[in-house]
Amino acid sequence: DGGITQSPKYLFRKEGQNVTLSCEQNLNHDAMYWYRQDPGQGLRLIYYSQIVNDFQKGDIAEGYSVSREKKESFPLTVTSAQKNPTAFYLCASSKTGGNEQFFGPGTRLTVL
Amino acid sequence: AQSVAQPEDQVNVAEGNPLTVKCTYSVSGNPYLFWYVQYPNRGLQFLLKYITGDNLVKGSYGFEAEFNKSQTSFHLKKPSALVSDSALYFCAVRDSGGYNKLIFGAGTRLAVHP
């Protein structure tokens, strides 16, 4: 998990509320990613960013938003439009042109 | 469509025995393949990768994987399993569309029994 931090570790949200998950990396990586993990489904890509001020939708972007104002930071907002937000969220980063991604420890979001 | 399949939801092995976790892939062009391990409530840890070269790739914690182009497989192996190897294992392939996107399999839970 070294080099990438996610906070908080656990997050509880009421229905209808937006919530923002933090992801910070000190690896000097250009690319950052957000994944959602549900039991038995592996990881699904929500958003990714190759450089500052640029990001692309992944496979399941609906109901989520991101920003990339700094190289080190890639926060994810789970909006009230996300119908089933309870999941484990993982942030990752990689070098430009690099291959393996390095993952943070994750945030478990529960909607009450 | 590009995809990764891990045909076994769970693999059970006795400690000291060899283990194999299976992975097959479908991707256009030359595949970039990865194995990750996840312990409960933790992020994924990188184990090994195949980009090019020798078909047998050695990685962390004594794990290795064999790339087989004709069978489009990339099975993870270890000669002697440890109880501490019990975890969730993910195979992934780089999306040939670029941007270093990874496509993950659904994961295989490895249980090593004493």
Q: What is the pLDDT of residue B112?
A: 97
Q: Do B51 and A48 touch (CB under 8 A)?
A: no
> Looking at the complex, does the CB of residue B46 fall below 8 Å from at least one CB of chain A?
yes
Task: Name B97's Cβ contacts closer than 8 Å, sequence gap at least 6.
Answer: none
Which chain A residue has its CA at the smallest distance from B43's CA? Answer: A105
Which residue in B34, B43, B100 is closest to A104 by CB distance? B43
If pLDDT is split at 50, 70 and 90, which confidence band does A64 have? very high
Tokens representing B65? 């994987």
Which is more confident, A98 or B90?
B90
- Low-confidence stretches of chain B (pLDDT < 50) are none
Q: What average pLDDT does range A71-84 have in this prediction? A: 94
If pLDDT is split at 50, 70 and 90, which confidence band does A96 have? confident
CA of residue A2 relative to chain centroid, distance: 16
- List helix spans (H) across A1-112: none
If pLDDT is split at 50, 70 and 90, which confidence band does A2 have? low
Q: Which residues of B touch A102 (CB under 8 A)?
A: 46
Q: Is B58 exposed, middle or buried (0-12, 13-18, 19+ CB in 10 A)?
A: exposed
